[in-house]
Amino acid sequence: MDEKKGAYKFGEIEKKWQAYWQANKTFRAADCDYSKEKFYVLDMFPYPSGEGLHVGHPEGYTASDIVARYKRMKGFNVLHPMGWDAFGLPAEQYAVQTGTHPAQTTQKNIDNMRRQIKSLGFSYDWDREIATTDPDYFRWTQWIFLKFFNSYFDEDEQKAKPIEQLPLPEGLSEKDRYEYINSRRLAYEAQAPVNWCPALGTVLANEEVVGGVSERGGHPVIRKPMRQWMLRIMKYCERLLAGLDELDWPESIKKLQTDWIGKSIGADVDFRVDGHDVTIRVFTTRPDTLFGATYMVMAPEHPLADVITTDECKKAVKEYRKIAAGKSDLDRTDLAKEKTGQPTGAYAINPVNGEKIPIWISDYVLISYGTGAIMAVPAHDERDFEFATKFELPIIPVVEPDDAAEAEKVRAGQLCFAGDGTAINSGEFNGLRTAEFKQKITHWLEEREQGAEAVNYKLRDWLFSRQRYWGEPFPLVHTRDGRIVALTEDALPLELPKVDNYKPSGTGESPLANSGEWLDVKLPDGTKGRRETNTMPQWAGSCWYYLRYTDPRNNDSICDIQKENYWMPVDLYIGGAEHAVLHLLYARFWHMLLYDLGYVSTPEPFQKLVNQGMILGQDSQKMSKSRGNVINPDKVIADYGADSMRLYEMFMGPLEATKPWNMQGVEGVHRFLGKTWRMTVDESSGRLAEAVQESDADEQTARLLHQTIKKVGSDIEQLAFNTAISQMMIFVNHLSKLPIRPKSVVEKFILVLAPFAPHIAEELWAKLGHSKTLAYEPWPQFDPELAKEKEVELAVQVMGKIRDKIVVSADATEEDIKQKALSSEKVIAAMAGKKPKRVIVIKSRLVNIVI
RNA sequence: GGCCGAGUGGCGGAAUGGCAGACGCUGGGGACUUAAAAUCCCCUGCCCGAACGGGCGUGUGGGUUCGACUCCCACCUCGGCUACCA
């Protein structure tokens, strides 16, 4: 078999151009080039796993690369970087098993994934590559942590300020002063529950707990309070909510963040406890149902539970609290299970009517939300209704629904109604509508100092420490006299110690607690102390990496403010929807702090966000090893080439959609590239095809070319890559049939193809006689006049049914079209002698005759 | 349970108020070839019909409109996320 000299040899071509781009630094982004408009297009950087790339990664990366390449051709100065979110559990677990340092594993995985990513020909500026595990990078992650530690939140101005500016009350002792300041830092220590596995003697990350037991070994996991570092994200709830309005993000993601923050407005109400000098505060969004409160529930962890429980109930309550403490989160929230609880024997006094109501403890009330206690209104709350039904507690309806049938059931205590209605059984408030009642009763409570309007958020302060080795160490020292001292900025980076053993310490502390002399510190003033042994969570590094790309080698600051000012914000951010809440919320939070302190110039980091959809296996199931339906990108690239891979990923369907892989589809786009090749190159000689000549395009070809330039350009702007590719296929199908293919037409098409399939485009561009890369060739202009059809075919409907088609010139008047349509024989027949009542003419579409 | 998204040929999808099924895959037929691969050409939603042609058709039922895959209401199914937040 003769190997054709000029066949489309994608392997060689792709290697050649990747080497060219690398050697010429083709995609290096120039900082602060004010002669061009900037465009920052960012991918969510990957965790460098041992599995390497899966086909989901290149989906987003190809989309962003097409935009980056297109924008360069449109004259933009494009920043398109890539890096590695390289701290994380798998490398550490591997270290525990094998003793290999996680840094080694990480480096190996990065090298492999970099090779894979490069083999797809993405136009990243590799000079800006970063890894979160690099001390030159995490030095600044630690630096930002110090900013949190050394800042407080000014409530009046609703912004963070340096801790030195914190106004101090007069006359504080040194100790009080220290505590006053500490209690206001944006990074603070607190006791918080962690997933403790007694059998393994370690704390587990949430993802290591599956179904309430440890992923490894299946041992029970309980919640145990431990000393933790927290970040005061709650201070930013309002700004995190308000900022969403300005962002060009999918509405569904904005809603997810809004719901995650979970703002609700209601009232705090104080209930006196009968026979005790204490009050229990509850939060409710329905103060209008106070008259229907028939009991009260406290979370098992509530600090007053011990105080108020009567002697008769002590034993049962103690037992219940013990069981609750041993339950995992999952057990507690399992809806299938029945509600449980114990009476404390104590009674609370309802402030609106003086009624005595029993106080229970139950784990359906969470200590972490609101005040950790509720007033239960079974008639109007599903959970209370279920609980009251089980424990035979009274149900008093106080809101009457508007629907009469519903109202009857509610009155009979048979139906729980949580909507708005009219007040009943509520004394002087009877007859009020829900909204008005809420206002009045809140005011009433305020007057008597038994309650007040209150706002609550679901979002908790961010538990920021992990009991792990492979993370950023906290730049903090615990002194022997019990103080916490931050390292100075010039002491950064604080690197991880070398350890022999990556196993957890067994005390619940991180493996760093075993790391000998690293732990002992002598501060510059001579004070001795022990280093903080927790490390930061994986989110830390990804909270600000987009900033580092603007100035990745800066040794004096996170990034130069002028460069930051030039490049930020990110104009287009593409990544998976699984980061809709956590990463995107945490990154916005960090950005706000840096904004408050003047280190960045924009209030929000990511202007436009797009989520790529999931790619399923050929069997339309989620790809997984166990199903054996995983597609290996290396294999696809070896068999069909990177350009085919890129093209197929985009041709499968809309970017945001979930869609199944299909190898035959890859062959389809591969055929298209082969056709494009043969349209331009003579396969036997490898030279330009003879049909490609200097000549003018015929009218139809010119029209199709201009339509293609127009459609592909606008489709890229809308990220509708599948339809752009389909248009290019139509074009190639047409042009390759022509015996003479005007060179200028071929050239323009190659430029249009280039963002999608850059290797073959570069090669063909060279064959067409150009000596340098097409990466910065201007995007071809289309002429709207040339793109217009001369004649259009219109459908003619009679009463909405198509009866004939007519061809008219594109500039025919409505009257011309009407005449032509009405004179059609088929139309006349269909009208069966009736007179047209109305004739609707939609130019270039159709005519509808109403009779 | 809640929220979000999606239901269109044998398959991925296109059309978001104006000719449903572009483009690709699959399947069928043909050309080229000693033969095969590759390539090229034609056909390919369903039903009736020899054909011309006709009828039906975008998850289901209703509605708005001259006209609905597209807008509104109700329901069904599938997928993703979430989990007692008072």
Q: Which residue is nearest to nucleotide B22 (CA to C1')?
A: A726
Answer yes or no: is pLDDT of A328 > 70.
Answer: no
Predicted complex ipTM: 0.95
Give residue-wise pLDDT tens across range A91-116. Answer: 988 998 899 999 999 999 999 999 99
Classify domain A663-786 at the CATH topology level: Isoleucyl-tRNA Synthetase; Domain 1 (1.10.730)
Strand B atom within 7 Å of A335 CB: yes
Question: How long is the CA A318 to C1' B29 vector, in angstroms?
Answer: 83
CA A356 – CA A205 distance, rounded (Å): 44
Residue A441 φ/ψ, nearest 5 degrees: -70, -35
Burial (CB count within 10 angstroms: exposed 0-12, middle 13-18, buried 19+), residue A598: exposed
Query: Is residue A654's beta carbon less than 7 angstroms from any atom in nucleic acid strand B?
Result: yes
On the 0-12 / 13-18 / 19+ scale of CB atoms within 10 A, A500 is exposed
Q: Which nucleotide is nearest to A382 (CA to C1')?
A: B84
Q: Please compute the mean of the pLDDT values over residues A254-271 and round it to a whole number.
A: 94
Ranges in chain A annotated CATH 3.90.740.10: 264-456
Residue labelled with tokens 């004096």: A556
Calculate the angstrom distance between C1' of B79 and CA of A328: 28
Question: Which nt has its C1' nearest the CA of A668?
Answer: B24
* Topology, domain A264-456: Isoleucyl-tRNA Synthetase; domain 2 (3.90.740)
The topology under which CATH files domain A789-850 is: Ubiquitin-like (UB roll) (3.10.20)
Q: Per-residue pLDDT tens for A560-602?
A: 999 999 999 999 999 998 888 889 999 999 999 999 999 999 9
Residue type, A488: T
Given CA atoms A419, A422, A425, A427 in this order, what sign does their dihedral have?
positive
Tokens 């340096």, residue?
Answer: A162
Cα gap A19→A38, rounded to integer Å: 26
Q: How far is CA A433 from CA A239, A407, A445, A454, A628, in A?
A: 32, 14, 18, 20, 59
CA of A454 to C1' of B86 (A): 13
**Cβ neighbours around A400 below 10 Å, total:** 20
Please give the pLDDT value at position A29.
97
User: Average pLDDT in the A479-494 region?
Assistant: 93
Tens digits of residue pLDDT in A406-447: 888 899 888 899 988 999 999 999 999 999 999 999 999 999
- In this complex, the nucleotide whose C1' atom is nearest to the CA atom of residue A622 is B79
- Residue–nucleotide distance: A653 CA to B28 C1' (Å): 27
Q: Which residues in range 773-792 of chain A are in contact with strand B, contact meaning CB within 7 A of any of its atoms? A: 792
Q: Which of residues 269-288 of A touch strand B (CB under 7 A)?
A: 283-286
All CATH 1.10.730.10 domain ranges of chain A, comma separated, are 663-786
| A340: nt with nearest C1' to CA | B84
CA of A580 to C1' of B59 (A): 30
pLDDT tens profile A497-537: 988 888 877 777 888 888 888 999 988 888 899 999 999 99
Task: For residue A243, give the H/E element and its range.
Answer: helix A237-243
pLDDT higher at A523 or A278:
A278
Strand B contact with A363 (CB < 7 A): yes
Residue ranges matching CATH 3.10.20.590 in chain A: 789-850
**pLDDT (average), residues A637-658:** 96
Assess whether A726 (CB) lies less than 7 A from strand B.
yes
pLDDT-based confidence at residue A215 (cuts at 50, 70, 90): low
Cβ atoms of A441 and A352 within 8 Å: the answer is yes
Q: Which nucleotide is nearest to A365 (CA to C1')?
A: B84
Q: Is the CB of A206 under 7 A from strand B?
A: no
A320 CB and strand B closer than 7 A:
no
Q: What is the pLDDT of residues A388-398, one digit of tens each?
A: 999 999 999 99
A2-58 per-position pLDDT tens digit? 456 789 999 999 999 999 999 999 999 999 999 999 999 999 999 999 999 999 999
- Report the C-alpha gap between A49 and A109 in whole angstroms: 6
**Cβ–Cβ under 8 Å, residues A637 and A666:** no
Nucleotides of B under 7 A from a protein CB: 1, 3-5, 11-15, 18-20, 22-26, 38-41, 54-55, 66-68, 79-81, 83-86
Which nucleotide across the nucleic acid strands is nearest to A373, CA versus C1'? B86
Q: What is the pLDDT of residues A162-211, one digit of tens each?
A: 999 999 999 999 999 999 999 999 999 998 877 777 777 777 766 666 66
- Sheet harboring A520-522: ordered strands across? A484-486, A476-479, A528-531, A520-522
Residue (of A462, A411, A713) closest to A582 by Cα position: A462
Strand partners, A131: A84
Tokens representing A241 are 């909510």
- In tens, the pLDDT along A693-714 reads 999 999 999 999 999 999 999 9
